[in-house]
Amino acid sequence: MTLSANFYIEICYLIATALFVLSLMWLSAPTTARRGVLAGEIGMILAVGGTLLEKGIIDLHWVIVALVIGSLIGIPLGLVQMTAVPQRTAVSHAFGACCVTLVGTAEFFLRSPNVPKFTMSVLSLEVILGGLTFTGSLIAAAKLQELKFIPQRPVTYKGQNIVNLAILASTVIIAVILVLDSSHHILFLVMVAISLVVGVMLIIPIGGADMPTVISLLNSYAALSAAAMGFVLNSKLLIVAGALDGSSGFILSVIMCKAMNRSFTNVLFGAFGQVQTSGKAEKEERTVRSASPEEAAGILGAASSVVIVPGYGMAVAQAQHKVRELYDILSKKGVDVKFGIHPVAGRMPGHMNVLLAEADIPYERLVEMEDINSDIPQTDVALIIGANDVTNPAARTDTSSPIYGMPILDVDKARTVMVIKRSMNPGFAGIDNPLYYLDRTLMLFGDAKGFVNDIVRELSGNSAH
Ligand code: NAP
């Protein structure tokens, strides 16, 4: 009887592991992403189901209570607006890391004073990473949600990195002492408490707006602590799932850093984000040319090629369905419409791909930055909808700009540039955009959804004649 239960458990875990690998593979392309989500969900159901078959579980009542409470919290968390996904993700990491830290602490007290050296090492790694990820993720979520009690600005002081590293080093020293002698209960609790403090210290120097990159890194930490827990609990599934999640989170952080021209060590050691204020002082009183929806519709209708560049403003305005209508009507008129996708447009990687896919815009019309840039000089109109930093030519030319070196969409090279945004306010990086002052740039002031709607109305009116 027991043998067969174990057999089924192992089968569940094996299939779950394979599904997690496939899920990550499929998630990397828009055409297979839905399949990837489904594979991940089935994998997780099998992992939980297999765990519930474990004969160590003698009473399922508490498990059911936990499942109900978890679902009650999880369902509303899953229904947040797309722009709030980074902070929602941070909250999930906090839950995961809290769980890992609690399980690690329970395991220590169950096994102490006879914890084998290897187990004590991974157990320490588990609670240190888990503890700092728990508090770090909560601070990150609070900053992104712009909660009043926490300053959005980076909180910095002299010698901050040294202080942080010294505190982190103290947890490592305690871990070494515990590996040598695992009977020190108080020392273990001190190690957990310090790691909780480290999480706060590591995240406060980072500006709220720079947090998505850090969240991706915290994802990696949470997953590595789960992998360490896999060693402690002797669970191959946890080790594999943690390693997969940890490495993919790490790779994602590196990709985001590259796309924003951030140094990775800057992220690791915090204290970035101060750059957001620089560059503003040089803002000059220059004039811009603005245009009405009728004028914009006239130019778009007469163009033979248009590149639409969506950004954070399109996401906030939820304008993707209106953009789809604009795409349809222009395509019907024979205009070649493509979408220029910057890897960090919006507030999370793939943000624009997800929104445009939601509006059923054909995938083949979404062109990555490196590929579309060579087409832009031959393009009649670049229509920027709620994007700012990802189109800022200062990134190419102004060495003093905080975003200097960040790869951008070269929209300034199009024959005509049209920018839909509500005001002259800066974007995420907090800096002025010289694109707006070019002779061939027309500013279309208004909410992205409303303005695109007006253009569509004009174009439909025109086509009716
Ligand atoms: P952005 O530079 O933040 O600019 C967005 C623009 O949208 C703003 O200038 C704003 O101007 C406009 N806007 C806001 N609400 C609007 C509305 N309802 N209707 C029309 N316009 C609206 O956005 P981005 O060009 O997409 O660049 C993304 C930035 O986020 C980059 O700096 C990137 O480094 C950063 N970032 C991205 C990620 C990621 O993973 N994607 C992660 C971390 C950081 P008005 O206020 O004048 O309307």
Q: What is the predicted pLDDT for the residue at 452?
A: 98
Write the DSSP string, 99-159.
HHHHHHHHHHHHHTT---HHHHHHHHHHHHHHHHHHHHHHHHHHHHTT-TTS-SS----TT
Tokens read off for 21? 């690998």
Closest CA to 459 of 365, 305, 332: 332
Instruction: Report the separation in Å between the CA atom of 315 and the middle of ligand 1, taken as the mean of its atom positions.
Output: 9
Query: What's the pLDDT score for residue 276?
Result: 44
The token pair at 235 is 């669970």
The H or E element that residue 269 is part of is none
Q: Whose CA is nearest to atom 22 of ligand 1?
A: 313
Distance (angstroms) between ligand 1 centre and the Cα of 300 equals 23
Judge if the beta carbon of residue 316 lies within 6 A of ligand 1.
Answer: yes
Smallest CA separation from ligand 1 atom 43, residue:
212
Is 389 assigned a catalytic role?
Answer: yes
- Tell which phi-psi region holds residue 163, choosing left (phi > 0), alpha (psi between -120 and 50) or beta: alpha
For residue 114, the CA-to-ligand 1 centroid distance in Å is 54
Question: Residue 211: what residue type?
Answer: M
The pLDDT, as a whole number, for residue 2 is 55
Report field, pTM of the whole predicted structure over 0.85: no
What is the per-residue pLDDT for 230? 94
Contact 277, 234 (CB under 8 A): no
Indicate whether residue 456 lines ligand 1 (CB < 6 A). no
Atom nearest to 348 CA in ligand 1: 40
Query: In whole angstroms, what is the distance from residue 341 CA to residue 353 CA?
Result: 8
Q: What is the CA radius of gyration of the chain?
A: 25
Q: What is the C-alpha separation between 419 and 436, in angstroms, rounded? A: 8
The torsion defined by the Cα of 98, 101, 105 and 110, in degrees rounded to 10, comes to: 90
Nearest atom in ligand 1 to 449's CA: 19
Centroid of ligand 1 to alpha carbon of 108 (angstroms): 46
Q: What tokens appear for 461 in the block?
A: 């009116």
What separation in angstroms does the CA of 267 have from each of 94, 152, 405, 439? 19, 16, 17, 38
- Going from the first residue of the chain to its last (465 residues), give the mean pLDDT of each consecutive group of 10, the final group possibly shorter: 78 96 91 93 95 85 92 90 85 94 97 95 96 95 86 82 92 97 97 97 78 85 93 92 92 84 67 45 73 97 97 95 97 97 87 90 94 97 97 93 88 98 91 95 98 97 57
What does DSSP assign to residue 291? -
pLDDT at 243: 95
Q: Which two tokens stand for residue 85?
A: 């996904």
With the most atoms of ligand 1 within 8 angstroms of its CB, the residue from 82, 217, 257, 388 to mutate is 388
- What single-letter DSSP state applies at residue 262? -
Distance CA 465, CA 462 (A): 6
Q: Which pLDDT score is estimated for 87?
A: 87
The torsion of the CA quartet 348, 353, 354, 355, rounded to 10 degrees, works out to 100
Which pair of tokens denotes residue 442? 């027309």
Q: Which pLDDT score is estimated for 278? A: 42
Nearest CA to ligand 1 atom 33: 344
**Max Cα distance, the chain (Å):** 86
